[in-house]
Amino acid sequence: CCNVVMNRLRILSLPNHYIYQPTPQIQKASHYDDKWEYVAQHDLGWQEDIGPSSSEAKWYGINQYLYYTRNDCWKFGARFEWFRDESGIRVHGVRGTNPYAGGSSGDFFGLTGGANWTPTENIVIRPELRWDMFDGVGTLPFNDGTSDSQITAAIDFVLSF
């Protein structure tokens, strides 16, 4: 049914700043056929001696991806993300004249759906629609600090050579 692999473990250590990032993946977790793929990814970080109070900041999250490969040209995917910024130190929205104004302490959720279209071997076109939501305290992170959610449409082009 499934393969569980640890494909990456990164520990970044800078002065007073540590990030532990294991990335377990369950690949091709399907009870039907090999067209489905599930990936789970986890982040955990902390930083010591933040600001004048010398406090500690922590952040962590889980991302989950589900992909369906229709054929060599089309792959569809959905992603659910949860990120917790306990101290409001990692997530700052750009607001007005001060791009570093206040943090947003709480839970961030994202839900994304999209497609990968590969018309040739070295071109991938990836449209997506994303909904973000915030549940917490502090400055609201979206729409210049006035909203706890947003919807974004995006597209990118990848050229490999």
75-101 tens-digit pLDDT: 999 999 999 988 777 776 555 555 555
- What is the biggest distance separating any 2 CA atoms in the chain, rounded to whole angstroms? 56
Tens digits of residue pLDDT in 116-139: 999 999 999 999 999 999 999 878
**Residue 35, pLDDT score:** 87
**Residue 145, pLDDT score:** 80
**Which residue, 24, 87, 84, is CA-closest to 50?**
87
**Residue 50, pLDDT score:** 65
Six-digit token string for 4: 């569980």
CA distances in angstroms from 147 to 80, 81, 91, 133, 134, listed in the order given: 20, 19, 15, 9, 9
Tell me the average pLDDT of the chain: 77
**Which residue, 68, 92, 65, is CA-closest to 79?**
65
CB 97 within 8 A of CB 119: no
**Residue 13, pLDDT score:** 47
**Residue 104, pLDDT score:** 82
- How many other CB atoms are there within 10 angstroms of residue 39's CB atom? 19
CB 91 within 8 A of CB 103: yes
